[in-house]
Amino acid sequence: MAKGKKATAFFCQNCGYESAKWMGQCPGCKEWNTFVEEPVISTKTGMGGAAKSEGRQREKAHTLSEISMKEEEKLLTRMEELDRVLGGGIVPGSMTLVGGDPGIGKSTLLLQVCRELSADGHKVLYISGEESLKQIKIRANRMGKFSESLFLLCETNLTLIEATIKEMEPEVVIIDSIQTMYNENVSAAPGSVSQVRESTGVLMQLAKGFGISIFIVGHVTKEGTVAGPRVLEHMVDTVLYFEGDRHASYRILRGVKNRFGSTNEIGVFEMRQNGLEEVKNPSEYMLNGKPEGASGSIVACSMEGTRPILIEIQALVCPTNFGFPRRQATGTDFNRVNLLMAVLEKRLCLQMSNCDAYVNIAGGMKITEPAIDLGMAMAIVSSFKNRAIDEKTIAFGEIGLSGEVRAVNMAEQRILEAKKLGFTTCILPAVCLDQLADQIRDQIKDQIKDQQKFTSDGMKLIGVKSVQDAIDLI
């Protein structure tokens, strides 16, 4: 090696795999063309790397019975949507990664969290590497009054940030964003694989060592994943993604990793002039503007964690002008739409091979749960036959390749949500109907005339065993 030349290595931008030479495919994550060349970090100077062993006492191993267990009190942000996604609040000593597209509202959400926490007397430190103090002040003035327990710092040097955190000892720290932070001991540009990994390692040591809850903001790539090494998501306790169109007013906060709660919960917010406001009933919003008496439209129910959300499924099937029909899906899986259309053609003998088909989930949400299969199939056939479905009808169920309608979970919660919004008829899998009938059979035994159809609390429940049974109801 030439004198004075720094040692370099190749790192995978996706998983952080290290190699002495460039490779086309990463042996760790099997991704192609993800290796970048960066300086090698010395273990003596790398703050986020292996811990130094000098002067440390050997840790004693313990049995499970020797470990005392007590419930840690979580910090409530007074934002019910966020608290539910976090698993009931902020766990002391936890580390949370918040990702999302530029301009989606990540900084606004976390600044509101700072306002609510500081109002309750918690000491909060907001560290920004992207905005000046005046820019943060302008945004804060639109949100309202802030407590004196909130402190602001504009800094990107991680050594100075670490010293400030140790001196102030705040309860919650916000890092906006991790891609702007740099470690002096790492000779790489801010935002690189080495810098992001080492900076996160330092912050993790602060969080676990001092019991500080740290939120870090991460930018996303064009593929929708957090920029930097994938190991970043493995290091933190919770990963939240802020989704939605920045030109629209509604945002969805989705938990994709959570060591303290469910990973299926979502929170719905609306962007307004004074910040983000919670949407307590997203089902009502999703159904706003639903057409009356139009074919190709039906309401289905999807479960997001423990919350049932009613969505409108729209389908448009029309003869094609080209030799190859066009298929398009918005808000759901494109391949799932093709699969359902193949089932309808095979099992119901519907000739749709010469028709264009468009399926849309109204409201801007992305739904992948198989429980909306029955709703999509009924909407496609409704548009194909140009027959409108009753506006007060809701349908849910998974469809198999044989055309059977399979059971879905939490059927009772879906029915109760539909009833609350004024729906009178529910088409659901016959298996789910049998389970519900067993629970309430003693209450409605005089009303049951048909094993696959009865009325409960003013809601007409119709069980279907196959997609043919559901289409016959149109």
pLDDT of the residue at 280: 84
pLDDT of the residue at 71: 62
pLDDT tens readout for residues 41-52: 554 444 444 444
- What sign for the dihedral angle of Cα 174, 178, 181, 185? positive
Across 266-273, average pLDDT: 88
Cis before 302 (ω within 30): no
Across 26-37, average pLDDT: 83
pLDDT of the residue at 45: 46
Across 169-181, average pLDDT: 93
Q: Which of 7-16, 277-286, 334-343 has the lowest mean pLDDT?
A: 7-16
Unique residue bearing structure tokens 């109907």: 433
pLDDT of the residue at 119: 92
- Most confident range (mean pLDDT) of 31-40, 182-191, 309-318, 455-464 is 309-318
Rounded Cα distance between 177 and 156, Å, is 9
The backbone torsions φ and ψ at residue 179, rounded to the nearest 5 degrees and listed phi first, read: -70, -15
User: Confidence class of residue 85 from pLDDT cuts 50, 70 and 90?
Assistant: very high
Nearest to 359 by CA among 388, 316, 318: 316
Across 2-7, average pLDDT: 57
Nearest to 298 by CA among 247, 374, 193, 358: 374
Whole-model pTM: value is 0.74
Angle between helices 334-347 and 373-385 (to 10 degrees): 60
pLDDT tens readout for residues 288-316: 888 888 999 999 999 987 889 999 999 99
Rounded Cα distance between 188 and 194, Å, is 7
Rounded Cα distance between 78 and 47, Å, is 35
Give percent above pLDDT 70 in the chain: 87
pLDDT of the residue at 28: 79
Helix (H) or strand (E) holding 377: helix 373-385
pLDDT of the residue at 222: 56
Give percent above pLDDT 90 in the chain: 50
User: Confidence class of residue 56 from pLDDT cuts 50, 70 and 90?
Assistant: low
Q: Kindly give the residue spans of alpha helices, DSSP state H, lying in 211-313.
A: 231-235, 282-286
